[in-house]
Amino acid sequence: MEEPPKSEREQTNEKQESKESFEITPKTIVGTLIKNYPFIKEYLVSLSPEYEKLNNPIIFGTMKKVGTLDMLSQVGGFKTNDLIEKIGKEIERKI
């Protein structure tokens, strides 16, 4: 038996719950982070000139699959925990 379609409210609640349960760690993959919070890509680019490379589709295609926040912080010259904190504050500000 097929389930009835979900209401817009149910869909919104599911999205919020999945984002609330999304933990950002040094091992978080860049693509997963951006999938959950698309605005973070633009924010990262604003943090460091090194992150402008994320605008290159070939580089981003690779980074979104294997790049972790730990790797990204090293490229941008940040301590990993500082970068995670900055990302967390931006997410709080935007949602």
Spatial separation of the C-alpha atoms in residues 76 and 72, rounded to whole Å: 6
Rounded to two decimals, the pTM is: 0.76
pLDDT grade for 15, boundaries at 50, 70 and 90: very low
Which pLDDT value is given to residue 95?
A: 87
Average pLDDT of every residue of the chain: 86
- Residue 68's DSSP bridge partners are 29
Which pLDDT value is given to residue 21?
A: 63
* Domain assignments of the chain as residue spans, ordered by start: 30-94
Burial class (CB in 10 A: 0-12, 13-18, 19+), 5: exposed
Query: What average pLDDT does the segment 2-22 reach?
Result: 52
CA distances to 6, 29, 51 from 54, in Å: 35, 14, 6
Quick check: 12 pLDDT over 70?
no
| Percent of the chain surpassing pLDDT 70 | 78
User: Of the candidates 17, 22, 13, 58, which has an alpha carbon nearest to the alpha carbon of residue 40?
Assistant: 22
